[in-house]
Structures are given as structure tokens and as C-alpha cells.
Amino acid sequence: MTTNVGAYDRVIRVVIGSVLIGIASYGSGLPFITLACIGIIPFATGVLGWCPVYKILGINTVKEY
């Protein structure tokens, strides 16, 4: 599993995922559970640096020097 998510993309994903999970932690019920599940996806792909959708589409945002 090679990284295909660049540094800026990773930061944005972690921030957006954290915000969505944080908002979801203030309530209960299906809308908040759904929001938390949606937030886990960008957070996990940002932390891991690998996105399966990018892999399928052949996108790579990692800058190679």
C-alpha cells in the first residue's frame, strides 16, 4: 500500500474528518451517527495517506522530488 494522498490533502482530510466527528459527538441519534461515520472516512484516509478511490481513479497527489 503506497501513499497516494499528498501532505496538504492529508491535512485537509484530517481537519474535515475531525470537525465532522466532533460535531457528531454533541448529539445522539441517526443523524449524528451518520455524520460520525462520514467523518471517519476522510480522517482515516488522511491519517493513512492512502485513498482507495484515488487508487481506482489513478490519482496521486504526492509530490515526488
DSSP 8-state class, residue 6:
-
Phi, psi of 34, rounded to the nearest 5 degrees: -65, -45
Judged against a pLDDT cut of 80, whether residue 61 lies above it is answered with yes
Contacts (Cβ under 8 Å, ≥6 apart) of 20: 35, 36, 38, 39, 42, 43
Instruction: Report the C-alpha gap between 21 and 64 in whole angstroms.
Output: 32
Domain ranges in the chain are: 7-57
28, three cell numbers: 445522539
4, three cell numbers: 497516494
**pLDDT by residue (tens digit) across 9-55?**
999 999 999 999 999 999 999 999 999 999 999 999 999 999 999 99
